[in-house]
Amino acid sequence: MENKPFHTLKVGVFDSGLGGLTVLSELTKVSSGVKFFYLGDTARVPYGIRSDETIIKYSLECTRFLLKFEIDILVIACNTASAKATEVLKKEFPFLKIFEVITPAVEVVSSVAKRSVGIIGTPATVKSNIYLTRLKALNPSLEVFQKPTPLLVPLVEEGITDGKVAFEVLKYYLWEWKEKIDTLLLGCTHYPLLENSIKKLFPHWGIVNSAKPLAQKLKPLLNFGGKNEIRLYFTDKTAFLEDMVKRVSLKGEVKGVEIGNLL
């Protein structure tokens, strides 16, 4: 009997820019023998200030690009797209297993937060109230604060994740919560790159990075033995793209990086 060729699991990951690399990094840490295809829509970042219609349009375009690689799983590594486009993508592509970053993070926060939670995200994510609604549903006793922090994505995209400027912007947004909250939920996949700076300013807070709960949820699906293979695609070569790719630890062999008018 002729042996059928083993099908390597293919996972597509997309984000509005470079922030989703934090999700890709966590996924590669808990996987083996998986082919990852990452698309960062750096030409149109940020998504968080766009209309719902535009966010959905961009998300559909990113998904269609990744489908060219015959992916088995789609990971929406963008909180804004997760909040606004998940249901549309599931309806449009019913044959795909689709995972987003919001649900696993909510589950973790609802169990680890003691009294009060602060949520930071893009204007679109915060306006959707998706974190607030789901947290309250799981743990009604929690006091929940939320705030849009639109300057943080450009900071990360420009490589400014520590030092005086980063500290001042973080203090501008977060200082009023200093004694109000015990847990901070990073509701944008760019924000983990600011996590060390946040910890320096607010060492008593617990911080939940939405990439890690998602990776733990997917871990049972991602282990086949052998090396991961990673291909990176970006719609524009931004100033700090190469530096950001180097700063994010990817467990696997990066087979190629393609930059250009992909969509």
Which pLDDT score, from 0 to 100, does residue 6 have? 56
Cβ 123 vs Cβ 187: under 8 Å:
no
Token readout for 85 is 């486009």
Which pLDDT score, from 0 to 100, does residue 240 have? 86
Active site residues: 78, 188
Per-residue model confidence as pLDDT tens for the chain (263 residues): 344 345 799 999 999 999 999 999 999 999 999 999 999 999 999 999 999 999 999 999 999 999 999 999 999 999 999 999 999 999 999 999 999 999 999 999 999 999 999 999 999 999 999 999 999 999 999 999 999 999 999 999 888 999 999 999 999 999 999 999 999 999 999 999 999 999 999 999 999 998 999 999 999 999 999 999 999 999 999 888 988 888 899 999 999 999 999 99
H-helix segments, the chain: 21-29, 52-67, 79-92, 102-112, 123-128, 130-138, 152-157, 164-174, 195-201, 211-218, 241-247
Complete domains list, the chain, with CATH: 10-100+213-259 (3.40.50.1860), 103-210 (3.40.50.1860)
The pTM for the full model equals: 0.92
Q: How many whole angstroms from its chain centre is CA 189? A: 3
